[in-house]
Chains A and B, each alone.
Chain A
Amino acid sequence: MLIAFLLVVLAASVGAARESRETFQEEALVRPLPDGRIAFVAHFRQETSLVARHHETFPKAIAQIARATGVADAELSFTQGRWMYRRWGRPPVGAKPIGAELWAAFAAESDEVADEGWANLTAMFGGQFCASLSALRDEQVVVEPALVFRPWDGSARVDRDGISSDNRRRHGSLPAEAVCTENLTPWLKLLPCRDRAGIAALLGSRSSVFGAEYVSFTARVRVRGDALELTQSATLVVDANKIAREPEGGHRLTSLLGVDRGGGANGIRACAAATSTAVHVQTKGGTAFAFGGRKVHTAVADEGRRVDTAVAADEASRPAWLSWDVSAAEDFDVAVRPGGGDEGTVAPELYAERVVTGSGYHRGGISIELRRPEGSKSASGTRARLFQTLPWYVRVFIHTLAVEMDGVPVPVPTSGADVGANGGAVEALRWVPGVDRRRPSTMELQVLMPASASVARVSFKFEKAFLRISEFPPDANRGFDLPAALLSLPPVSPRDGHEFGESRLLDLVEGVASEVGDTHSEGVYMQGALLTLPTPDFSMPFNVTTMVCTLMSLLAGALLTTLTRRPGWEGFGKLKAEQRKRLKSLEKEARKARAGKSE
């Protein structure tokens, strides 16, 4: 009996021990940008077992969400400010659109289950992150992308059978969502050390986080087998010109991010729960001085470039990687001095800009411009996938869809048959028309931009629908925010030979940003736009105008009535007929009389 008891206890304890196997990795990347800005990326990854009942460091809320919603893969991002591609080049980790964006894939056998899971996900994330994500439950917002998340396997099919049944995707975004402390704090509270220690301590100052010119933090929940993975990454762009430099001419990370406590006590310590804490500096020809920390041997490059920054300086063509391990025992800080080589940033393959054309309240248009960076030429053409969803009140005239290469129009397939036929530039086109108050319209387009072309322009026209007075938001006269459009570019390969095996963050850096779906493609978001719709206005001059116009039109109507009606004469028509008859007879007599006279 005792033995049995012991066995039970043993099993229980062993089970507990097994469940509590969790990993937490944190690392940071610092990259000086031209024009004196400095990009800072913090990246966190936690992993636990999906079936575990009890978590030591892994956030319970996330585990519960994952279980309750049956989500296979979901990413939520909050963003304030714009990533300036032209000035800063390609972002270290994929830039996100302003506001809140949520996409998820569900391992659901039917769409109903997926929708249910989506509804739960939005509600629970909304409560978790103090965001009004509940607006995304509305079917007016959510769409199901088919093409843009498909792997870049060369196929350009837009039907849904490429999406396996256990991988039903939903996508929604709130372009006007405010992003502030109440969103960041819960995000930080998902970390074992919150913002007390570790890399996250660098995000401790709310005013400098949200004072940054670009701040975006994302949380991604992914189920891999029975492993549950939570990946968080935050990207900041701070203006180093406003911060005092160190004597040796560099910027200390802590002062850049406004978390220096002054004196010698500067720096961060690794979070005690972290299995690894690393800081990378990526600069071309610049240098970085570490205070504390242990320089690690990464597989980034050979000896010279890794250790000796002077050698890195003349190797300005390729980024120099400097990596440090941060210990929990001593303070670590790093001062970065941008080098001359940082002016040449890696430009994305294409710049994308979206313009709302036209003015006024009735008609409008959208023109998306894909522009190849100056001087960059690709041997073969560039493929790009366009994903754009528009609210229902934007009634797109799809027949006006036009694609131009350097101002020369190219044929646009009008039916599924001739898509991609005769090697047209438009290789795939998926168009889901919107339904009033029920469904937004979705456009997915794959274009092949020939090597010769430098500017491709996709444009179409639309009509603005009238909204009911109850459908206007309180600030209707500001305009209506259109969600950002996404340009998905194939992965850059080979990534100049580097393989960062042990570092999750460096996997993301350099071109393989924004793992949209599971394809390592590069996502370039075109910022949202503002659309003015006719809004009701009952201020006085309008009332006067309306009144007077009504009055005058009515008077005109009355005038017309009076002109055309003969009051009180029912038999008037008869009378006129008689008169006419008599008139004729009189004329006849008169003619007779004349005839008689003439004779």
Chain B
Amino acid sequence: MRTWSALALVLALVARATGDAAADTPARRAEAFFQSSSSSPAGGSNHTSNWAVLVDASRYWFNYRHIANTLSLYRTVKRLGIPDSNIILMLADDVSCSPRNSFPASVFGNANHLANLYGDNIEVDYRGYEVTPENLLRVLTDRHAPGTPRSKRLLTDAGSNLFLYITGHGGDEFMKFQDQTEIMSKDIADALEQMREKRRYNEVLFIAETCQAATLAARFYSPGVLAIGSSEKGENSYSHHLDRSIGLSVIDRFTYWTLEFMESVTPHAGATLAQWFSQLTNHRLHSTAKPRLELFPRGAHDARVTDFLGHVSKAAPMAGGGYEGLSSSRGGRVRTESADAGDDAATRGGDGRGDGTGGGAAAAAAGKSGGEGARLKVGDEDAGRVPKAVDGGWATPGARARGEGVAFAAVSCAALVGAAAWVSAKAY
């Protein structure tokens, strides 16, 4: 009898262990974690997780430095403890394995080639043609096509601090994506507001590295957003130095000095944003990087760098099992997702602002949520705005310029037709 019970005990333990193992998939853990955190009451105080959206908006080999910028921040946030599952990395081009790259599978932000920013374990969530304003806004507002894998989604909640970094070629209140489309400051501002209404963030740190970068945050109006750009309106952002072995300039000044500072930051050091910003002097940047603080009441002096870039202890379980969580257990998500996209449409349909975030770009998203009028309105006012100088002597005409080219050509042709016809009719 004793032996029987002993055997039973053993078997029970075995069964339990297997059962636990079966139940305890990381995906389940992730779900459980999100349910727990999202059920907790929202508010500025409770900060449970950190997320990062890092965007390189420009394509082509000679924009190597923009990808290096983005990867510098990627390296930093990963080193400070944000898991890949909490990082949405958008790279508009692949320079690391480009045959033009003399150092395959590596990207260097410094001519001394000490740190390979690309690393062995990178996860690029959106790359190539996928990097569009539409997809960026979809990520922010979490409205995706059915079946979008989890790795491409920003699953923040009211307790999440968001670090949003954009680099590329831009101008006055716009940022060019792959030299084809643009995203406007208003689009991002509206997306952030929509996130706030859906209680998808606790605080946001927005950084733009481009020409006239500060103007990209000019339209922000949602509380809890701290924005800083590499240059003021009318200023250019400059690259830091040239790497002759790769054959181009590898990093921009703002990011270079940011990385200089971040390399000294440890996950548990109390370095504040103010200390960081103090490093970004005009002397180093050749441009003015001034944070925009009025939407960020607690100020840069109290905010620690790790509040945004580091890991949060409560979020620690995710850190290990980040990878397996990806793209798993997709089966049931289609329905739920389309559903919440649907009631997004219902809620957003009323005020055009939310749908307006699409600007000219996120046509599909806005189209799904039936706010055409508002979208068109925003589109018009976008079209009315003329872009000014873009990043350092960038010569090719952007999509907006192309649009203007079309309009210009059309209008003047029409004028010519009218004039000539009427001249020929009345000229004598």
| A contacts, CB < 8 Å to B | 2, 5-6, 9-10, 12-13, 16, 53-54, 60-61, 64, 68, 80, 119-120, 123-124, 126-128, 130, 132, 134-135, 176-182, 185-186, 189, 206-207, 209-211, 469, 472-475, 536, 538-539, 543, 546-547, 550-551, 554-555, 557-559, 561-562, 565, 567
Asked, given contacts A185-B121, A207-B103, whether A557 binds B22 with beta carbons under 8 Å apart, the answer is no
Within 8 Å of chain A (Cβ to Cβ): is B329?
A: yes
Within 8 Å of chain A (Cβ to Cβ): is B243?
A: no
Instruction: Flag if B324 contacts A557 (CB, 8 Å).
Output: no
From A180, A538, A543, residue with most partner B Cβ within 10 Å: A180
Instruction: Flag if A538 contacts B105 (CB, 8 Å).
Output: no
7 contacts between A and B (CB under 8 A): A12-B18, A181-B119, A185-B120, A538-B405, A538-B409, A558-B427, A561-B421
When C-beta atoms are compared, the residue in chain A nearest to B103 turns out to be: A207
For B97, give its contact among A16, A61, A180 (CB under 8 Å).
A180
> Which of B30-38, B145-153, B250-258, B277-285 forms part of the interface with chain A?
B145-153
The A-contacting residues of B in range 136-160, CB under 8 angstroms, are: 147-152
Instruction: Flag if A6 contacts B120 (CB, 8 Å).
Output: no
Instruction: Flag if B425 contacts A127 (CB, 8 Å).
Output: no
Within 8 Å of chain A (Cβ to Cβ): is B296?
A: no
B residues near A2, Cβ cutoff 8 Å: 4, 8
CB distance from B3 to the nearest CB of A (A): 12
For A60, give its contact among B105, B177, B324 (CB under 8 Å).
B324
The A-contacting residues of B in range 386-428, CB under 8 angstroms, are: 397, 401-402, 405-406, 408-409, 412-413, 416-417, 419-421, 423-425, 427-428
A10 to B13, CA, bound (A): 11
Asked, given contacts A9-B11, A60-B25, whether A562 binds B427 with beta carbons under 8 Å apart, the answer is yes
Instruction: Flag if A543 contacts B408 (CB, 8 Å).
Output: yes
When C-beta atoms are compared, the residue in chain A nearest to B19 turns out to be: A12
Within 8 Å of chain A (Cβ to Cβ): is B242?
A: no
Instruction: Flag if A13 contacts B14 (CB, 8 Å).
Output: yes
For B428, give its contact among A182, A547, A562 (CB under 8 Å).
A562
CB distance from A78 to the nearest CB of B (A): 10
When C-beta atoms are compared, the residue in chain A nearest to B129 turns out to be: A473
Chain B positions 102 through 114: 1 when the CB is less than 8 Å from some CB of chain A, otherwise 0: 0111100000000
From B127, B148, B401, residue with most partner A Cβ within 10 Å: B127
Instruction: Flag if A128 contacts B326 (CB, 8 Å).
Output: yes
A16 to B20, CA, bound (A): 12
Instruction: Flag if A189 contacts B323 (CB, 8 Å).
Output: yes
B residues near A209, Cβ cutoff 8 Å: 105
A179 to B408, CA, bound (A): 41
B residues near A558, Cβ cutoff 8 Å: 420-421, 423-424, 427
Asked, given contacts A132-B128, A558-B421, whether A181 binds B11 with beta carbons under 8 Å apart, the answer is no
B residues near A120, Cβ cutoff 8 Å: 147, 330
Instruction: Flag if B397 contacts A9 (CB, 8 Å).
Output: no
For B328, give its contact among A6, A60, A206 (CB under 8 Å).
A60
When C-beta atoms are compared, the residue in chain A nearest to B15 turns out to be: A12
Closest 6 CB pairs of A and B: A127-B149, A538-B405, A127-B327, A178-B94, A558-B424, A474-B178
For A180, give its contact among B92, B96, B424 (CB under 8 Å).
B96
When C-beta atoms are compared, the residue in chain A nearest to B180 turns out to be: A474
Instruction: Flag if A6 contacts B105 (CB, 8 Å).
Output: no
Q: How many A-B residue pairs have CB under 8 A?
A: 182
Instruction: Flag if B425 contacts A6 (CB, 8 Å).
Output: no
CB distance from B210 to the nearest CB of A (A): 17
Instruction: Flag if B397 contacts A539 (CB, 8 Å).
Output: yes
When C-beta atoms are compared, the residue in chain B nearest to A54 turns out to be: B22
A127 to B127, CA, bound (A): 12
Instruction: Flag if A475 contacts B60 (CB, 8 Å).
Output: yes
When C-beta atoms are compared, the residue in chain A nearest to B177 turns out to be: A474
A61 to B324, CA, bound (A): 7
A285 to B402, CA, bound (A): 63
Asked, given contacts A123-B330, A127-B326, A132-B127, whether A185 binds B122 with beta carbons under 8 Å apart, the answer is yes
Asked, given contacts A538-B402, A558-B424, whether A210 binds B416 with beta carbons under 8 Å apart, the answer is no
Instruction: Flag if A546 contacts B8 (CB, 8 Å).
Output: no
A residues near B179, Cβ cutoff 8 Å: 474
Instruction: Flag if B104 contacts A211 (CB, 8 Å).
Output: yes
Instruction: Flag if A181 contacts B330 (CB, 8 Å).
Output: no
B residues near A539, Cβ cutoff 8 Å: 397
A113 to B19, CA, bound (A): 33
Q: Apart from A9-B8, A561-B425, what are 4 other A-B pairs with CB-CB below 8 Å?
A: A54-B18, A550-B416, A554-B416, A565-B424
Within 8 Å of chain A (Cβ to Cβ): is B59?
A: yes
B residues near A10, Cβ cutoff 8 Å: 11
Within 8 Å of chain A (Cβ to Cβ): is B123?
A: yes
B residues near A555, Cβ cutoff 8 Å: 420
For A178, give its contact among B128, B152, B324 (CB under 8 Å).
B128
Instruction: Flag if A130 contacts B22 (CB, 8 Å).
Output: no
A177 to B419, CA, bound (A): 50
Instruction: Flag if A127 contacts B97 (CB, 8 Å).
Output: no
CB distance from B398 to the nearest CB of A (A): 10
Instruction: Flag if B59 contacts A475 (CB, 8 Å).
Output: yes
For A182, give its contact among B92, B103, B124 (CB under 8 Å).
B124
Instruction: Flag if B397 contacts A211 (CB, 8 Å).
Output: no
When C-beta atoms are compared, the residue in chain B nearest to A561 turns out to be: B424
Instruction: Flag if B125 contacts A13 (CB, 8 Å).
Output: no
CB distance from A331 to the nearest CB of B (A): 22
Within 8 Å of chain A (Cβ to Cβ): is B197?
A: no
